[in-house]
Structure 1
Amino acid sequence: MDYNLLSKSHKIKITFFDVKGGDAIWIRFFGNDKKWHNILVDGGYGNTYKAVFGPLISKITKDEAIDLWIVTHPDIDHIGAILGFINDSQIKDKIKVLKQIWFNYSPSIVDTTTGKLGVNQGVTLRSFLENHGFVVMQSIDNNLPNQDLFGLKIKILSPDLKKLKKSKEHWKHSEQKVIKLGRTLKQSDYKNTIEGLNLKRFIEDTDPWNGGAIAFMIQFDSVQCLFLSDSHPSSVETSLKNLGYGPDFQVKFDLVQLSHHGSKANNSPSLLDLMKTSRFVITGNGINNHHPDKETLTRILTKDQRENDIEFVFPSETDALKNLFSVDNNPFLRWRFKCTFPPNNQGFVEFLFLSLTQT
């Protein structure tokens, strides 16, 4: 992977990495203190750290620091790679390179677990943070005022206090028994046409950890973006409505990362009605859990009063994703959309905003 990523041609750059269907995001911006700053979001599975975030962190910390690392929740496709950071012997002074971390961890004592989910990783991260004196902000919920990081404003949209409490209680029960995870290929909807999926009824995700996931929007100068992690849409919808947005006054985003890798249970029609954007980033790879659901993409394509052409951006390039619409008749022209993948198999997609003239 080419890590010549510290370009200073734009004031803000957002990068989504291919981590086998997990979340690994890097936000880099030129702050109001005239310095470059870095935010990491999640990091993917533990076995992707050496290929992705490890080299990235090494590159960043030669001259800069990680100002904030947001760990949205303890699922292993989100939290796994941070354990790589903990165990990375090449990073001697971790407090020096990582200024602040957001992580809603539970104080619960957890019995021996199966390792199927992420409680083990969450407990390991919790112990590391507590034992090494890291600055950890808690609780991160949608009652938190806007956070200002050198001119970049962060608004938390999820979780709400009720779902955050439920997710923390879930630590005690999540791995007490073996849990069968994932869906089979037969359970995916990739063989359905857009027309065949358009009338499906929305049923919201009930997973407590997803309900406790940190979802947020950022605003930097004129740029506004939405990062939904694995959040429940009802929480995000409530937060946006409390900010004054509605179907007749939609919030405009330069990009939206769909929730839960494009799951049909985490991206509701009513939430989509609150936002106005032409670019959706989808971190599912079409293999793990067969996310995204095609039904989610259909909701976006068939949305009432849609004005713009749609771009679906995938950090992963797999045959499953490239063939998502192979059963449809002339779908791209008919529904006015395109699918974008990493150029030259580079392993990431990046978005550059606000051209910065160097002097």
Structure 2
Amino acid sequence: MPGAIRIELLPARLGDCLLVECLREDGRPWRMLIDGGPPDTWPLLEARLRRMPADDQAIDVAVITHIDSDHIGGMIPLLSSDLASRIGDVWFNGRTHLPGDQGRARSIDQGETVVSTLTGGARPGLAAGKMAGGPLPWNTAFGGGAIDTAAPAGVVEVSIPGGPTITVVSPTLTQLHKLGAAWLKVVAQAQREERPLPQPDVLEPLTDLQALASRPTVKDTSVANGSSIAVLVEHRGASAVLSGDAFGPVLAAGLAGIAKARGLKRLEVDAFKLPHHGSQANVTGALLATAPAGNYLVSSNGDVFHHPDDIALARVVTGAPSPPALWFNYRNARTERWADPALTGRYGHTAHFPDPAQPDAGVVLELPVRTG
């Protein structure tokens, strides 16, 4: 019997590139690709997609969570390639979806495409973001409109016949307003892909996780991060929060709104992809308390910004109702400390890494069917 949800975190360096499959007993799985990592992830992503079964190569939804080079870099060549014909719908908030005069100034019908929006206009070597049969389908599950929570702590659901139920957790309309005001600047910054050179990673001893977890929370002020599309995916009783780089308070409000609508005090989930690669600015105690999970996933090799932050993971390990499992798509000096037997023995958590025999495969979490 197949499981419920399979989440594959490809090794996308400092970025996100997730392949999510909602499995069914009969028929092909429903698939969602979330982000494409930075530009140098594209060859790996392309190879992975071309390894899909010859008789089943559909990608039902491709999600571009937000405009940032470590999320869109591998998506641009994908949407400009022959593989784009496999995609059923692209979920992405482009300029045309943003509130205010800027957003109303253009429309998809006037020729705007996903790729031209991502790049600020088609560049040499890139197609116009169209398939042979016409423009890429864009936010069709939302009537072609914006993807947001509709209101503070609102609940917007998409139910896939025979597949998952997907609930939008972020962004809010407020965050889209902010993106609209800074659109040109955000796109230009994403195109430049200006990143500091990797610096030596100074690792603190993980001796007192309670003390680490209680350190003051910094605030993420990135307009792009705040506009991230984040979703709750539920299928056959299993559930996963896939959060992009969304703000902790926005995620907490969205998840609390879902819990309230269901008459719950909190929304317990099976898996939670930590926002912003495990940054302490986004992984807050309030967020973790709103939607505690059994499994927490981190997508980052830590070579530039040294994610995941120890403070963030300390909050995860010490704040979970029961000892969680940590899933890393890279094994390195920063992440392997969380598998130290002395640490796991003290706090009870477990740590999981990619198969060393398949260094290009990332890490895979398979969630079982849950009944009752």
**Same fold judged by TM-score > 0.5?**
yes
Q: Contact 2:203–2:334 at 8 Å: present in 1 too?
A: no
Q: Contact 1:71–1:101 at 8 Å: present in 2 too?
A: yes
- Which residue among 255, 266, 284 is the counterpart of 1:268? 284
Where does the alignment leave 5 or more consecutive residues of structure 2 unmatched?
Answer: 97-101, 106-115, 140-144
Q: Which residue does the alignment assign to 2:216?
A: 201
Q: Which residue does the alignment assign to 1:140?
A: 147
Q: Distance in 1 between matches of 2:88 and 2:310?
A: 39
Where does the alignment leave 5 or more consecutive residues of structure 1 unmatched?
Answer: 1-7, 110-117
- Which residue among 339, 342, 346 is the counterpart of 2:351? 339
Where in structure 2 are the equivalents of 1:1-359 lying within 5 Å?
A: 9-30=2-23, 34-51=27-44, 53-60=45-52, 62-64=54-56, 65-88=58-81, 91=82, 94-95=84-85, 97-107=86-96, 121=119, 123-124=121-122, 128=129, 132-137=134-139, 138-143=145-150, 145-150=156-161, 151-174=163-186, 175=188, 181-182=195-196, 185=199, 190=204, 193=207, 194-245=209-260, 249-303=265-319, 306-323=320-337, 330-346=342-358, 347-354=361-368
Output one character per residue of 1:134-165: Cα deviation in whole Å (capped at 9) or x when no partner: 11113111127311123311001000001012
Output one character per residue of 1:306-342: Cα deviation in whole Å (capped at 9) or x when no partner: 431221110112233224687xx93221122222101
**Pair 152,206 (structure 1): closer, same or farther in 2 beyond 3 Å:** same
Q: Distance in 1 between matches of 2:227 and 2:318?
A: 29
Q: Contact 2:17–2:34 at 8 Å: present in 1 too?
A: yes
Q: Distance in 2 between matches of 1:58 and 1:204?
A: 40
**Pair 188,212 (structure 1): closer, same or farther in 2 beyond 3 Å:** farther
**Pair 183,332 (structure 1): closer, same or farther in 2 beyond 3 Å:** farther
1:353 shift after superposition: 3.4
24-33 or 136-145: which moved more? 24-33
Q: Aligned with 1:216: secondary structure?
A: strand
Q: Aligned with 2:94: secondary structure?
A: coil
**Pair 67,198 (structure 1): closer, same or farther in 2 beyond 3 Å:** closer
1:61 shift after superposition: 6.8
Q: Contact 1:129–1:136 at 8 Å: present in 2 too?
A: no
Q: Distance in 1 between matches of 2:211 and 2:367?
A: 37
Output one character per residue of 1:107-154: Cα deviation in whole Å (capped at 9) or x when no partner: 569xxxxxxxx9864655995259941111131111273111233110
Q: Aligned with 1:278: secondary structure?
A: strand
Q: Contact 1:230–1:261 at 8 Å: present in 2 too?
A: yes
**Amino acid of the structure 2 residue aligned with 1:321:** T
Q: Contact 1:11–1:30 at 8 Å: present in 2 too?
A: yes
**Amino acid of the structure 2 residue aligned with 1:283:** S
**Amino acid of the structure 2 residue aligned with 1:300:** V
Q: Aligned with 1:229: secondary structure?
A: coil
TM-score normalized with structure 1 length = 0.81
**Pair 354,311 (structure 1): closer, same or farther in 2 beyond 3 Å:** closer
Q: Distance in 1 between matches of 2:164 and 2:253?
A: 23
Q: Contact 1:119–1:171 at 8 Å: present in 2 too?
A: no
Cα RMSD of the aligned pairs, angstroms, is 3.3
TM-score normalized with structure 2 length = 0.78
Q: Distance in 1 between matches of 2:202 and 2:182?
A: 27
Q: Distance in 2 between matches of 1:344 and 1:285?
A: 15
